[in-house]
Structure 1
Amino acid sequence: MAEARWLSQTFVHWPYEPWIVQDLLPSGLTVDTYEDAAWVGFTPFVMSALRPGGLPPPRWSFPETNLRTYVRRPDGLDGLWFLSLDVGAAVMLAARAIGAPYHLGALTVHVGDGLVRYAGVRRGGFPSYGLTVRPGAPVAPGARDVWLTSRWRAFTRTGRVLWQTAVDHEPWPLYTADVVDLRQTLTAAAGLPAPSGPAVLHYAPRVRAVRFAPPRPSPAGPLSAVCATVRRHR
């Protein structure tokens, strides 16, 4: 089992029409919705003290940025689907073997003067992003806050095989956050239109004792009736 910490993580979530996101998913997964919207999350952070399972030190620390959405299997099991994963360390590229869409890039995270500044550009110069936020007060999480930030597995796919990777960690210590600056082309690179709804923001200074289970095949089965309904309402 791999272990790590997550530091200085910001969640920027945008609502989308469910059919738009469904078109980006593989067969066997249905877009998950909250208040009739699909949600796409832009989440930069620092992966700290990463130790792959069974390996001795050293531990790795590096910036990572996810573009993700929320999905369900036909049996209702929920999880994350990553539209892209940008990372500053080649150690993560091994996860491409199970379909994780990792890309190397130049990524930075700076914390100071009451601000958290993120920047990144993928090798080749596209896509890129710049985000500056001002964290605020602690949040007593409501239902939507929990739904957007608390997922305990991720799905990936290679060929006909759907994989699931379970993750466990302490509850997120969520804070409010205000955007000072935001520029990004990650959504366009993933095949999404520009976000049109207001963003929902959260900030978490740290989560300790993150544990990743080894990936394993995940029964997918046929698309569910919910997926068919999503497509019919385009």
Structure 2
Amino acid sequence: MKNPDKILTNIHNRQYPLPKKKWKYFQQWHKTIFLHWEVPVYFLEEYIPEGIELDTYQNMAWVSLVAFEVKNMRLRNLPPFPFISNFKEVNLRTYVIKDDKPGIYMFSIETDKLAEVLLTRIFIGLPYQKSKIKRTSSRFVSHNKTLKQSLDLTIGKIRPQKEKTTLDFWLTERHALYDYMSNKLFRFDIHHTQWDLQELDVTVNNICYKAGKYSASILPDKVQYAEKLDVVLWGKVAI
């Protein structure tokens, strides 16, 4: 995207105003696969840091595993650098809220490049972990021996979404990432246009991920897919 600031002119999908400061990072999310599970609150609530609340939909919490490719990641006013600007990512999240700002809380964030782990920890401040991640047109496979996490998906047919539900919006239209580091709570503000979601046939051949007391099953309650999304991010703010 030649002018990421154009993203900021489309804010109808936000639930609170844009930050007043200028954004710091731009990236594109490609071929994003969402696997969602509906989870009783008690599986997660004690694992959410003090200061933020577990967000619920119809009194149930949700856990999501998101697998995608990041492309053209760069700092504001700098070009992307191919070796470090393009990478694969898998993250495991739940949904939280603070001060009427709904967002996400990560249980883990993985990437396939060691350089990305180092750079994101230094410059952005997110605790990325290095994993073995491979993707083809029909498979997505990830493995992290240290974290004992693994994923094996067979990717099938992509179809237009029949109808975007309130749950679809609740799960995807979030513009804050909350993190707890060194006994402090931080928020990363994010903005993107509304997700253009599609339906995806996917077979979960293997999955080994745990969020709190919940172990992800091979039968997600909901699956979503998106081909591409442009995203801007701000720096972390202590809250």
TM norm structure 1: 0.82
2:86 aligned with 1:61: yes
SS in 1 for 2:187: strand
2:204 aligned with 1:181: yes
Q: 1:92 to 1:153 in 2, by over 3 A?
A: farther
In structure 1, the residue matched to 2:30 is: 7
Aligned counterpart in structure 1 of residue 127 of structure 2, from 83, 89, 101: 101
Give RMSD over aligned pairs.
2.1
Q: C-alpha separation between the residues in 2 aligned to 1:205 and 1:160?
A: 37
Q: C-alpha separation between the residues in 1 aligned to 2:28 and 2:88?
A: 12
Deviation at 1:167, TM superposition (A): 1.0
SS in 1 for 2:169: helix
Contact 2:125 2:236 in 1 (8 A): no
Q: 1:33 to 1:174 in 2, by over 3 A?
A: same
In structure 2, the residue matched to 1:230 is: none
Aligned counterpart in structure 2 of residue 193 of structure 1, from 194, 202, 214: 214
Q: C-alpha separation between the residues in 2 aligned to 1:159 and 1:25?
A: 15
Deviation at 1:105, TM superposition (A): 0.9
Alignment of 1:74-93 (within 5 A): 75-89=99-113, 90-93=115-118
Deviation at 1:184, TM superposition (A): 1.1
Q: C-alpha separation between the residues in 1 aligned to 2:125 and 2:185?
A: 9
Q: 1:104 to 1:123 in 2, by over 3 A?
A: farther
TM norm structure 2: 0.80
Q: 1:126 to 1:14 in 2, by over 3 A?
A: same
Per-residue CA deviation, residues 155-210 of structure 1 (Å, 9 max, x unaligned), is 111223211111111211111112223311122xx443334685201110111x31
Contact 1:64 1:88 in 2 (8 A): yes
Alignment of 1:20-31 (within 5 A): 20-31=43-54
In structure 1, the residue matched to 2:20 is: none
Q: Percent identity?
A: 27
SS in 1 for 2:193: coil
Moved more, 140-149 or 192-201: 192-201
Letter in 1 for 2:235: P
The answer for unaligned runs of 5 or more in structure 2 is 1-23
The answer for unaligned runs of 5 or more in structure 1 is 219-234
Aligned length: 210
Q: C-alpha separation between the residues in 2 aligned to 1:125 and 1:142?
A: 34
